[in-house]
Structure 1
Amino acid sequence: MELRTDDKRWLGLARACWSGRTSAGLPSAALTPPPPPSVAIGVSKQDIREQIWDYMESRNLADFPRPVHHRIPNFKGSYLACQNIRDLEVFARTREVKVDPDKPLEGVRLLALQSKKTLLVPTPRLRTGLFNKITPPPGATKDVLRKCATSQVSAGAKAVRNYSSPVGLDSRVLVDLVVVGSVAVSEKGWRIGKGEGYADLEYAMMVSMGAVSPETPVVTIVHDCQVIDIPEALLEDHDLTVDYVLTPTRVIATGCERPKPTGILWSKISWEVMGKIPVLQSLRHREKQAGKDVTLRDEPRRLLGASSQQPAHLTAVRGPRDPPLPEPCPAQGEDEPTGTVCVGNLPRDARVSELKRALRELGAVPQRLTWQGPRGRALLHYQNPASAQQAVSRLQGLRLGAATLTVALARRQRASDLPGGRVQEPQPDCRPAVADL
C-alpha cells in the first residue's frame, strides 16, 4: 500500500525512534508521542470526548477533516496505524471484514481490497440498510481501489456507490473481523465513540442477524494520545468493547473480558430512532415474532405490573371518542384502499404543531393534513396507498401527552357499490386494531 507524504514522514520518525536516534541528531525522546490528556475522577463520556478533541487540535495532531470535534478524529499517521493490522493473524485469515466509514480507517479499507477480502461498510446513518458490499471491477487499478476505499460521506461517495451493493437482512453474511473508529479507548479494550451510538447499534444489529458471534474480533485504530484510562463505571451493557488497539507506534492486544452486546437492547431505543432507521423496524418485527421483548424506551409497557394482568392502555387517559361509524352492508364487498390515514384519540388540548413535529421525527410527513381537533382526530393525506401504509407502520404507538393515538388507514367504498356510481370520500376509521386491544 502506498503511503502519503505525511505517513512516510511518520514511518521514518518511528523507525528512528525505534533505533534510538534521528536523522537530525535529536534524541529519541523528542519523538516520543505526546502523553494523552489526563482524565479526572468523576468525568463523563462527553467530558472525555471534549478533552481528546481539544487536545488533538491544540497539539496539531489532527488531520483532515478539521476541526475534529463531534467526529471520529482523523490524525496524522493514520495510514501508518492502519498498516499495523497486517501484523494481526486474525486479519490474515479474514475473508469478510466490516470497516466503519470513518476517515482514519481509510487505510484498512484499502488494505482489505488489495488483499482480495470482502469489504462491508455501513450505509450512512443506516438510512437504507445495514451495510453495503464494496466490489471493485475486475482488474481495478490502485486509483480505483483507493476510490473504493474512500469514506461514503467524503468526496469519493459517488465512486463508492458505483462499486457497492446493499446487503439484505436475509443475506448469509458471516463477518470475520470488525474495525471501528473511536474517540478514546483504554488498554483494557473499553471504548468511547463520538456519542451517536452507531457503532454499538451496528454491532448489535449484526448479532441480531447472525453476522457476528462473541468470538468475532473487534479492532479500533487511534492515535497514541487517544489511548487513556477509562473509568469502568462509565460503561453500559450496550457499549462495544475492542480486542485490539492499533496506533502508529503500538499494537495492543487488550485481552478484554467484558462481554460484548448480545443483541439489540430495545429498551435503549426510542421511537424517534426507529423512525430514522427503517432496517431497525424490520429487525424489531422479526424479534417480536420470535417472542422477544421489544418494548422501546418511550413505549408504555403492556402490563401494569406483576399483580395486574389488565392492559396498561385501558387505564390511560383517553381523548374524545370518534362518533360511531355505520357498519358496512355485507353486499358492499371489500373497501378500496386510499392514501389517507386517520389519527384518532387526540387529547382535547392537543395542538396541530405537536402532531406535525411527531410526524417529522418519525419520517411520516403527509402531503396534506386535515385537522379535526374538536372531534379528536386528524386526517393525513399521502400520495398513494403504499405511502399511507408505510406511515401507519411508522406511527404505531405514537403518543401525545398521556394518550396513545390510534392510527389506521381510511377507506373509500367502491363506486359500483354506491347509489349513482359515485365515489364516497374516505371514511375515517380510527378504532384501534384488534391486536392492540
Structure 2
Amino acid sequence: MQSVIKTSSVFSSGASKWDIRQKVWDYIEEKNLANFPRPVHNRIPNFKGAIQACNKLADLQEFKSSQTVKVNPDRPQQQGRFVTLEAQKTLLVPTPRLRTGLFNKITPPQGASKEQLRVCSSSQGVRDFSVPVDLDAKVKVDLVVVGSVAVSEKGLRIGKGEGYADMEYGMMASMGAVNESTVVVTIVHDCQVVDIPEELIESHDLTVDYILTPTRVIKTNCQLPKPQGIIWTKLDTEKLEKIPILKKLRALEEQAGKDVTLGAVPAAAEPGLQTSQPKRLRPEKGLEERGGEVTSQRKLPLSVTTVYLGGIPAGLRVSELKTALREREAPPLRLTWQGAQHRAFLDYSDPQAAEQALEALQGLSVNGHSLQAELAKSQRGGKRSAQSNRRPRPSTGPKSNTAPPGIKDDTTEKTEQ
C-alpha cells in the first residue's frame, strides 16, 4: 500500500507549517498508520514500524561512537531509548514539557536485564529510574534524537508546534552540552518525509542530520545552522512562567551580560503553536503526549466503550493496577474497581480507543498473575449507542467505587462486596 505523501500535489506554494502538520496527521489517520494513542493530531505520531525505525539507530556510526545520547520522551522513540540503554550509553530524556527541569538521566539498576532496561525506557521507568540534570551540569551530548511531525530529506524539521525540541536544543547549546558538530537524528514513518519549503524554517528551528524510517536511513547533509542558544525575542513572559528553567537560564545569561529582551507578543505565529493550541487534559503527570484520549474527570462522554479486566489477584491494590495501565499506555477515562470479584472495568472514549487499549493490555501480568482483557459483554456485537455502551451496574451490593486515573489517594481501595 502506498504510504508516502506526494508533496508536489499536496502542498501549495503558500503552505504554512500548520498546513503541513495537518496534512500529515490527516494522512496517518486516513491510512491507519499509527498505534495508540490516537488520534495523532497535535502529537508526535506513534507510527506503525517505530520499533524497526528505532533499531536502525544502533547501525549509525555516529551512535556507535557516542557516549551520551539525548532521546525525546515520546512513545514512538521508546525503542530508541531502549537501544541506547542496551548499548550501555548514558541516556538523557528531557523533562516532560520542561516543567521541572531540563533532563532526566536514566540510571538502570546494576546489572539490569534486558526486560529491566525495557522498563527503564518506558514512561514509568523514566520516572522511577532517573536523576535530574540541571543547567549547571557539565554534560556533553554526542547524539540528539528527536521526534517530528514532518521532515524533509534536506533535514528541515517540523514538530507538533509547541517548540520544546527547539528550546531543549537551545538550552543545551547555552550550557555547552552541544555544538555545531553534534549529530541530530529524527525517527519517523516514511510518509512523514515530505518536501518542506526552506522559507518556513526560522533561526530557532532545529534541523536534523539523519532521518530513520522503517525502510530507510537518510543522511540529509543539511546546510542550515542549528540554534546556538535561546532566542529570547521569540519568547514572552507567559512562556517563561510556564517553564521555570527558562527563567533560570535567562537570569544566568543576563548576569553574563547577554541581551535577554523578550518578545512583546506570544511567539505563536500560526494556528496551534504554543498558547493557541487547544489544551488536552491528561490523566497523569508523565512523559509528553502520554495518556491517550482523555476527557474531563467531571464530565464523561455520553457514550463510552468498556473493557473487562479479569483475573485480578487477591490483595492487589487499585493503585498498582493503575500503575500497570499507565505503563502499558492504556489509562482509561474511568476505572471501576471490583477487587472482591477479581475484576475491574475500564471505560474508554470510543470503540477505537478501547481496541487500542486491548491490544496494549494483551499479556498483561501483575505481581506474577496474568490478567485477561476483553470487551465487556455490553460492548460486543458492534453496539454503539449511548445506552448500550453504558455498563450495567450489579443489582446487589454497595455501589462500586470509581475514580479517574491519576488520583493521588487510595479512595478507590474499597472493593465492591
Whether TM exceeds 0.5 here: the answer is yes
Q: Percent identity?
A: 63
Q: Given that residues 82 and 246 in structure 1 are in contact (C-alpha distance below 8 angstroms), is that contact kept between their aligned partners in structure 2?
A: yes
2:157 corresponds to 1:185: no
Match of 1:79 among 46, 51, 57: 51
2:35 is aligned to 63
What is residue 148 of structure 1 aligned with on the other side? 120
- Once the 2 structures are TM-superposed, how far is the Cα of residue 141 of structure 1 from its aligned partner? 2.0
Query: What do the CA deviations read for 1:367-413 (whole angstroms, capped 9, x no partner)?
Result: xxxxxxxxxxxxxxxxxxxxxxxxxxxxxxxxxxxxxxxxxxxxxxx
**TM-score (norm: length of structure 1):** 0.59
The partner residue of 1:124 within 93, 96, 100 is 96
Residue number among 108, 127, 131 corresponding to 1:161 in the alignment: 127
User: 5 Å matches for 1:262-277?
Assistant: 262-277=228-243
Partner of 2:210: 244
Alignment length, in residue pairs?
A: 263
Deviation of residue 35 (structure 1)?
A: 4.0
Shift, 1:298, TM fit? 2.2
Q: Residue 83 of structure 2: which of 108, 111, 121 is its match?
A: 111
1:218 and 1:241 in contact (8 A); partners too: yes
In the aligned structure 2, how far is the partner of 1:36 from the partner of 1:80?
A: 23
Residue in 1 that maps onto 2:314? none
Q: Aligned partners of 2:262, 2:5: CA distance in 1, in Å?
A: 42
Query: Distance in 2 between the 1:118 and 1:175 partners?
Result: 9
Partner of 2:11: 39
Distance 1:34 1:232 in 2: 20
SS at structure 2 position matched to 1:132: strand
C-alpha distance 224-36 of structure 1, shift in aligned 2 (>3 A): farther
Contact kept, 8 Å, 2:105 with 2:130, in 1: the verdict is: yes
1:226 shift after superposition: 0.5
2:204–2:227 Cα contact (<8 Å) kept: yes
Q: Secondary structure at the match of 2:47?
A: coil
Say whether the 8 Å CA contact 1:80–1:248 is kept in structure 2.
yes
| AA aligned opposite 2:229 | G
Rounded Cα–Cα distance in structure 1 between residues aligned with 2:4 and 2:159: 21
**Paired position in structure 2 for 1:413:** none
Change (3 A) 1:214 1:35: same
CA contact (8 A) 1:189 1:242 kept: yes
From 162, 165, 168, the equivalent of 1:196 is 162
SS of residue in 2 equivalent to 1:133:
strand
CA drift of 1:33 comes to 4.2
Letter in 1 for 2:21: R
Q: What is the DSSP-based 3-state SS (H/G/I as helix, E as strand, rest coil) of the residue aligned with 2:227?
A: coil
What does 1:348-427 correspond to in 2, within 5 Å? none
Which of 123, 139, 142 is 1:173 aligned to? 139
Q: In 1, distance between residues paired with 2:31 and 2:166?
A: 29
The answer to whether the 8 Å contact 2:90/2:106 transfers is yes
CA contact (8 A) 1:33 1:225 kept: yes
Work out which of the residue numbers 235, 260, 278 in structure 1 matches 2:226.
Answer: 260
Q: Which structure: larger Rg?
A: 1
Q: CA deviation at 1:32?
A: 5.8
The answer to whether the 8 Å contact 1:36/1:226 transfers is no
TM-score by length of 2: 0.62
* 1:228 and 2:200 matched: no
Equivalent residues in 2 for 1:93-108 (5 A)? 93-108=65-80
Structure 1: 5+ residue stretches without partners:
1-30, 300-437
